[in-house]
Amino acid sequence: MDDRNTGSSRRLGWLVLAGTLLGSGATLAQPAEQASERAQERAQTEARERVEERAQEQVYGWQLMNAQEREAYRARMRNAATAEERARIRAEHHVKMQERARAQGVTLPDMPMHRGPGKGDGKGMGPGAGAGKGMGSGSGAGKGKGPGR
Flag whether 136 is in a domain: no
Total number of domains in the chain: 2
Contact 85, 79 (CB under 8 A): no
Identify whether residues 100 and 63 lie together within a single domain: yes
Average pLDDT over residues 12-20: 66
Residue 94 lies in a domain: yes
The alpha carbons of the chain give a radius of gyration, in whole angstroms, of: 34
- Model pTM? 0.42
81-105 mean pLDDT: 94
- The tens digit of pLDDT for each residue in 110-144 reads 765 555 444 544 444 555 555 555 555 555 555 66
AA identity, residue 102: R
Would 114 be classed as within a structural domain?
Answer: no
Q: In this structure, is residue 29 part of a structural domain? A: yes
CA–CA separation, 142 vs 125, rounded Å? 34
More confident residue, 76 or 146: 76
Query: pLDDT tens digit string along 32-85?
Result: 888 889 989 988 888 777 766 665 557 889 889 999 999 999 999 999 999 999
Is residue 76 one of the residues assigned to a domain? yes
110 close to 95: Cβ distance less than 8 angstroms:
no
Q: Is residue 149 domain-resident?
A: no
Q: Does some domain include residue 143?
A: no
Whether residue 34 is found in the same domain as residue 66:
no
> Are 84 and 43 part of one and the same domain?
no
Task: Please give the residue range of the domain that contains residue 43.
Answer: 22-47
